[in-house]
Every structure is written in structure tokens, then in C-alpha cells.
Amino acid sequence: MKISKLVGKRVKEAPNGAVLRSHILLLRAGYIKQVGAGIFSLLPPAQRVSLKLQNIIRDEMNKIGGQEVLFPVVMPRELWDMSGRYSSIKEEMIRFKDRNNHDMLLGMTHEEAAVHMLLNTATSPEDLPCMIYQIQTKFRDEARPRGGLIRVREFIMKDAYSFHNTQEDLDSYYKKVYDAYIRIYKRFGLKNFVVVEGDNGIMGGKVSHEYMEVTDVGEDYLVICPECGYSSNMEVAVCQKDENDQTVAGEMKEVFTGNAHTIEEVCEFLKTDAKHTAKSVCFKTANTNKLIMCFVRGDHDVNQSKVAKLVKEPIDYVDTDLYNLPAGNIGMFNLNVPEDTFIFYDKSLEKLENFVTGANKADYHIVNASMSRDVKNAEFVDISLVMKGEKCCKCGHELTLTRGIEIGNIFQLGTKYTKSMGLKINTPDGKTKEPIMGCYGIGVGRNLASIIEEKADDKGIVWPMTVAPWQVYLCPIRIDDENVNAISNELYKKLEKAGVEVLFDDRNTSAGTKLTDSELMGIPIRVVISPKTLANGQAEVTIRETGEKMFVPLADLVSEVKMMIQEQIEEIEKDL
């Protein structure tokens, strides 16, 4: 490809509104163009990377017996009524009527279509297991698209669905996909990723894992044990709580605390420690509008995802004034709240004695409260956020917290979809049984951006050789020089003939512009030809990732470059 004809321009200025490194670089280097909120066109270099990512995914899916199919983007409502998701999924899903006034939707995920494909075709136990997958456009109407390709509304996704006769078979296949995913990310050149226990969200099912690219700019919070490898999405992370071992002492009583409302203020006012307090956080259920009161030890915070799971619907913050609850003085005693209020006590409160909590009366708190003595029938559930320094639930080592971008996920779905959609296998004993499903997703664009997040430096993108849009940036300096021109054109032809993917900077422009563009675009190997290098019969070869420079005799250039490409690929794929 000659850069003079490449569609898209490199620009110096970071565009307005772009904050994430990958977003800025994709725009600056001419890879993407925004068409709407969370909607992008991919320019030729990005599409080249995207196709390479897709082919790696395809290859690994095929290796574990996956069969590629194609499901529709647009589906009729009926299919999603069968699973119940037409109504259970909210604004994230686009719905519209077709010209015949028929309810249609844009598929955000394709469990329904996958089960539909097997209806009447998978009928006997011998037809299973099977795994079908597609690589296709999806649209999810995200409330807050952001970060370029990190959180978009439209994206290319590989989604796979497996069907099994038994849970054991799913378990064993799930492990194969688990491993295939690791191979995929390694082949993408990613190194900073971890696998964490996941939250199942709208998918249903129980076991799930998320593949997380660890980065400061990730939207997800992760809990990781550096000792035993326990790792989990913060949303579902658990830990060992330090035990409360005080004994009952003193009589519970109200004390005036005035303007002391936060835990810090109350502790200072009463000269006590946050570990000896119980704080309350109130929410409401988003759909059914019920009050939720959560009590946790003062040195902990409430994990909203865990609460949402307990009430089985999304939750929102609530205005406590509506319930005559005095913000800053709310506690678990003398409560006058609606009968259908959810009241949750976090496990951190178990056996807590001599603690301070709100008196449900402006300017007052209660002291010397005792969970065992004063709170009757409390059931303790896990609703707290795991915090840095807490103890690993598996090995007791101190946990670390980090952030990550979800670059893939795998789920065990159980029979939620096969049951609701009536996919039945005839068992040898004359009965029928629903297959057990797994589903497995990878967003292509988000991975493309994550690779940039991990690898880029202050000069620009750094593509791993396995996914680079071009392998070599052929960069003649002073192309107006007859010799430079002739030799670089000849090299261009020779390299392409040798199967090397070359971006040829055929512009008659300054060395600075060319070198800067080659770095910005992230092409792994740069070959510079100039009057100076030619004087020695050489080309200057630079490795983008390391900055390593070497001079190669022109006669050896094609074979040297091919060897470097091969070495870089082998380095990436070495422990697969």
C-alpha cells in the first residue's frame, strides 16, 4: 500500500473530547472516524487490524471444534419472547416496528438465535456437544459510550454458543474455551491480562469468567490475590472479614452528636474507631420502587452489584427524606419504614458489640449497641465491597485492587434458554432433556483498543507483529533523489513479492513527518532508505517496540526483514 493513496490522514492534535490513549491515537493516526455517539467507521488500517484479530479468533474457535455460522442482526420479537428477554432487557436493546408493524429488535447477543438454529436439528444425544459461533455486528444502546472503541454502541463481536448433554461435558468444554481465550489474547500480543470470576449480568447462569486487560483506565474494578491467584470482578469479589470479638458492655443509649454526620465526623466526636460503628446506605429498587436499607461496618462500603442481585433488579440511590429518615443519623433502631422495605445486614456486622449507629433522629446517634443483644433475627449477607489490604478468601494473603477492561467473557448458562425455548433431546430412556449451554464472547474493537492501551508509548501506537495492519513501513527519505526513488520502489516490489505487508511512504515530504507518522501508526518494522544509507549500500531498520536500530546491507534486506517478522511472531506465540 502506498501511503499517498491511503484513505485517512495523520494529525498532530489530540481531538477534542478524546481522553483515553487508544482513542486519541486511533483518531490521530487515521484509524477511526466517529459517525455518532459510540458509533465509528473503521478506516483501512483499523479494518486490517480488525480482520487479523478476527482471523486469530476464528482459528482458535475452529481448533476447539467451533462451527462458524451467521445469525441475523435484526430479529423478530417472537424469538425473544420465548426466552422472556424481550421484556426483561430494557433500553439497551433497540426495538422498532417494520413496515408491516411487526415488532423487531437488534440482537445484542444471540442465545435465542443459537437455540433456534438447533431446534429440530439437534434431537439426539449424539448430536451433542456442538459449538457454533459467529463474528458479526451488534448494537447495544449503551447509556454512556466513551473512550473511542473501548465502550461503543455498535461493535463487531465473536459470540459462541455450546450445547451439552451433561454438566460434566459443559465443564470440560468450558475449560477448553477458557484456554482458547488465553491463546487468543496471547496471539493478540497482550500480556497484562487476567481472568477473574465474573458477574453474570443479563446472561443468567452461574459460573462465569471475565478476561480483563489490567490498566489504570479500565472501567471495571478487580480484586487480585498476588499469592494464590484468586481474582474476581469487584462486583462479586469476596474476602475473609476480620472478626468482631468484643464483648457486650454498657447500656444502649442515645447521645447528642450534632453536626457529626459522616462516619469520620461521628468517630471524631465520640472518640471511637470506624470499626466500632455501623453505617447505613439506602437505595430503592429501580423498577418496583421499594426502599432498601443496607447496614455495613463503618470502615466498609456497600457493593451495589451484590445488593442488586439480592433484590433481583437494578437499584438506584434514594432520597431518604421521602421516608422521613434523617440523612447522617440513620440506623437500625426505631425504624419506621414501609413493610416491604429490604433490610440487609452485612457480614461485617456479625458479632459486633459496643457499636455506634444512627438514632433515626436528627443530631443523635446510639452508642453501646450490640448486634447479638439488640438486633433480633438479623440475617447476615455479603453486601460489602472488598477493599485493598483485606484478606484473600482462599489463602488469607492481602488482596490488591486494580482496574481492567473486559476483553472477553465466558459463561455457563445452564438450561435457561433451552428450557424456555423448548429445545429437547430425546434420551435413550424415551424421555426428553434440555441441553446445557455455555456462551462465550469477545469484542473485536475493544481488543484492538486494549492492545493500544497496553503497548503504546509517547510516540504512538505499537502493534504486535501478529496483528499489525502492515508489517513494514518502508520509508524513503529524500524520495526526490533518483537513486532513493528507484531503490525504494524496487524494494517495495521485492518485499511485497516476498509476501511482506508493506506500507510504502511514497510522499515527497520531510523526514520528520515520515518518521513521526511511522511511529504514530505503530508499524512494527521501519526500513529507512536515504542518500546516506545508500552511500553504504544499506538500509536503516528500526524495531518500533524497542527502538532498536540496525543497518542492513540492501542485498540482505528482504531476507533479514522476513526473518525479523518471523522472530517477532514466534516470540509472541512462543508459549502457546
Q: Which is nearer to a second copy, 18 or 43 (CB)?
A: 43
Q: Which is nearer to a second copy, 120 or 336 (CB)?
A: 120
Q: Which is nearer to a second copy, 129 or 147 (CB)?
A: 129
Burial group, residue 63, by CB count within 10 angstroms (0-12, 13-18, 19+):
exposed
Q: Which is nearer to a second copy, 5 or 376 (CB)?
A: 5
Smallest gap from residue 307 Cβ to a second copy (A):
24
Q: Which is nearer to a second copy, 98 or 571 (CB)?
A: 98
Q: Grid coordinates standing for 378?
A: 438479623
- 286-292 contact pairs (CB < 8 A, 24+): 286/313, 286/314, 286/315, 286/316, 287/313, 287/314, 288/313, 290/338, 290/340, 290/341, 290/342, 291/318, 291/323, 291/337, 291/338, 291/340, 291/341, 291/342, 292/318, 292/341, 292/342, 292/344
* For helices 44-63 and 444-455, angle between their N-to-C axes, nearest 10 degrees: 110
* Distance of alpha carbon 232 from alpha carbon 196, whole angstroms: 4
* Distance of alpha carbon 523 from alpha carbon 492, whole angstroms: 15
Q: Which is nearer to a second copy, 50 or 257 (CB)?
A: 50
Smallest gap from residue 264 Cβ to a second copy (A):
38
Interface with a second copy by CB under 8 A: which residues?
Answer: 1, 4-9, 30, 33, 35-37, 39-44, 46-48, 50-51, 65, 67-76, 79, 91-92, 94-96, 98-100, 102, 104, 106, 113, 116-118, 120-122, 126-127, 130, 132, 134, 136-137, 139, 141, 143, 153-154, 156
Smallest gap from residue 449 Cβ to a second copy (A):
15
Q: Which is nearer to a second copy, 72 or 84 (CB)?
A: 72
Smallest gap from residue 570 Cβ to a second copy (A):
22
* Distance of alpha carbon 40 from alpha carbon 25, whole angstroms: 14
Q: Grid coordinates standing for 79?
A: 424469538
Q: Which is nearer to a second copy, 28 or 209 (CB)?
A: 28
Q: Quick one: which of 60, 52, 183, 55 has its CA closest to 465?
A: 52
The continuous run of DSSP H or E covering 36 comes out as: strand 32-36
Smallest gap from residue 228 Cβ to a second copy (A):
38
What distances in angstroms separate CA 79 from CA 113, 372, 481, one per listed residue? 8, 52, 66
Q: Which is nearer to a second copy, 139 or 355 (CB)?
A: 139
Q: How many degrees, rounded to 5, is the angle at CA 273 between CA 268 and CA 274?
A: 100
HEC profile for 314-355? CEEECCHHHHCCCCCCCCCCCCCCCCCCEEEEEHHHCCCEEE
Q: Which is nearer to a second copy, 138 or 300 (CB)?
A: 138
Q: Which is nearer to a second copy, 121 or 246 (CB)?
A: 121
* Distance of alpha carbon 107 from alpha carbon 72, whole angstroms: 8
Smallest gap from residue 189 Cβ to a second copy (A):
21
* Distance of alpha carbon 75 from alpha carbon 92, whole angstroms: 15
Smallest gap from residue 76 Cβ to a second copy (A):
4
Tell me which residue has cell 454502541. 153
Smallest gap from residue 28 Cβ to a second copy (A):
13
Q: Which is nearer to a second copy, 155 or 221 (CB)?
A: 155
Smallest gap from residue 411 Cβ to a second copy (A):
20
What distances in angstroms separate CA 526 from CA 100, 106, 430, one per listed residue? 57, 43, 67
Q: Which is nearer to a second copy, 162 or 233 (CB)?
A: 162
* Distance of alpha carbon 217 from alpha carbon 21, whole angstroms: 9
Smallest gap from residue 540 Cβ to a second copy (A):
27
Q: Which positions ≥6 away from 171 have C-beta within 8 Å?
A: 412
Smallest gap from residue 385 Cβ to a second copy (A):
28
Q: What is the DSSP letter of 178?
A: H
Smallest gap from residue 235 Cβ to a second copy (A):
23
What distances in angstroms separate CA 188 from CA 289, 443, 451, one per listed residue? 45, 13, 7
Neighbours of 59 (CB within 10 A): 14
Provide the phi-psi class of 530: left if phi over 0, else alpha when psi is between -120 and 50, else beta: beta
Smallest gap from residue 14 Cβ to a second copy (A):
16
Q: Grid coordinates standing for 112?
A: 435465542
